[in-house]
Amino acid sequence: GENVEQHPSTLSVQEGDSAVIKCTYSDSASNYFPWYKQELGKGPQLIIDIRSNVGEKKDQRIAVTLNKTAKHFSLHITETQPEDSAVYFCAASKSGTYKYIFGTGTRLKVLA
Amino acid sequence: EAGVTQSPTHLIKTRGQQATLRCSPISGHTSVYWYQQALGLGLQFLLWYDEGEERNRGNFPPRFSGRQFPNYSSELNVNALELEDSALYLCASSHSGKNYGYTFGSGTRLTVV
């Protein structure tokens, strides 16, 4: 069945360092890959997304890379700040279904 | 622009009772999605409504049901509550026919005792 694996489950980095979160999807028909940030007591917030016709996308300190052949995609956060501390979820979706298959989340802690 | 709003914020029910959760999408969005986020788990797809119709359903028993009203707001009903139904229930909305850029609400925390 459809599945998205996400690693690591927890990640601690020093302020200013980079953080990388990796996801692997099973359905080769997936063509849309969003990343969400969830802070305590709040709903997930879309922070960046990528479609299958693009290999990389960047928005300031955040970037996402996609390897369709390996069915891997990754979130890269550079120059991390304490406010980046949250739970991050990756997801995969394909046209026509409109549902997202989410990974199990990564708890990122940025240590000041 | 108002975001996706959900009510109530918290709900406590007894096992066997029914729970009703409500969601108002962003103005202009006609698709509403419901997800369950159990403690320590990722988000599990429950239901998708678009233009008043149920379009897709996740792997949940029939006691999870819902509907979408003419103003595109939505209601999720959970009958015969079980302890394992305790979770954060999230609603998201998007433009019809667009599978990208869901906007989530803050959720309803349902506790079954």
Convert the pLDDT of each residue in B43-79 to its tens digit: 999 999 999 999 999 999 999 999 999 999 999 999 9
Give the model's pLDDT for residue B1: 64
- The residues of B whose Cβ lies within 8 A of any Cβ of A are 4, 31, 33, 35, 41-45, 48, 50, 55-56, 58, 90, 94, 99-107
Contact B22, B6 (CB under 8 A): yes
Is there a contact between A43 and B105 (Cβ–Cβ < 8 Å)?
A: yes
Closest CA to A78 of A36, A20, A37: A20
Residue of B42, B99, B105 with shortest CB distance to A103: B42
How far is the C-alpha of A101 from the C-alpha of A99, rounded, in Å? 7
| A93 contact residues in B (CB cutoff 8 A) | 99-100
Distance CA A60, CA A34 (A): 16
For the stretch A34-56, pLDDT in tens is 999 999 888 999 999 999 888 99
Rounded to whole angstroms, the Cα distance separating A36 from B67 reads 26
Query: What is the C-alpha separation between A101 and B44, in angstroms, rounded?
Result: 7
Set of chain A residues whose Cβ sits within 8 Å of the Cβ of B25 = none
Evaluate if residue B100 carries a pLDDT over 80: no
- Would you call B102 and A34 a contact, using CB atoms and an 8 Å cutoff? yes
CB contact under 8 A, A99 and B106: no
Q: Which two tokens stand for residue B50?
A: 């678009």
Query: What is the H or E stretch that residue B112 is in?
Result: strand B108-112
Query: What is the token pair recorded at A84?
Result: 């980046």
Give percent above pLDDT 70 in chain A: 99
- Nearest-by-Cβ selection for B100 from A4, A34, A104: A34
B99 closest CB neighbour out of A41, A43, A93: A93
